[in-house]
Amino acid sequence: MKKLFLLLLLPGFFCSRLGAENTGYGEHMSYTIQFSFARYAGPAPIHNFGGGFGLMFPYSDKLSVNFNASLYGGGKLHFTDSARAFSSSTSPQTMPVGIRQKISSGCGELGLRYYLIGQNDYIGGVYGILGAGATLMRIKTVSVDAYDQALYAYQTVRNAGERDAATGLTGNVGIGGELPGFYFYFFGNVRYHFPLAANVPSSAGFPEFPSSISFEAGFRVPLED
Q: pTM value? A: 0.79
Average pLDDT over the chain, rounded to an integer: 79
Of the pLDDT bands very low, low, confident and very high (cuts 50, 70, 90), residue 48 is confident
Whether the per-residue pLDDT at 49 is higher than 80: the answer is yes
Whether the per-residue pLDDT at 107 is higher than 70: the answer is yes
Sequence-distant (6+) residues with CB within 8 A of 26 are 53, 54, 55, 56, 187, 218, 219, 220, 221
Of the pLDDT bands very low, low, confident and very high (cuts 50, 70, 90), residue 85 is confident
Task: Give the model's pLDDT for residue 35.
Answer: 75
Angstrom distance (rounded) from CA 72 to CA 86: 40
- Quick one: average pLDDT of 195-207? 80
φ, ψ of residue 48 to 5 degrees: the values are -125, 145
- Quick one: average pLDDT of 161-178? 91
Higher pLDDT, 36 or 102: 102
Residue 164: Cβ-neighbour burial (10 angstroms; 0-12, 13-18, 19+): middle
Whether the per-residue pLDDT at 11 is higher than 50: the answer is no
Show the domains of the chain with their CATH numbers.
2-223 (2.40.160.20)
pLDDT tens-place string over residues 113-130: 999 998 877 677 899 999
pLDDT tens-place string over residues 56-71: 888 888 899 999 999 9
What is the C-alpha radius of gyration for the chain, rounded to an integer number of angstroms?
Answer: 22
Higher pLDDT, 101 or 25: 101
In percent, the amount of the chain with pLDDT more than 90 equals 24
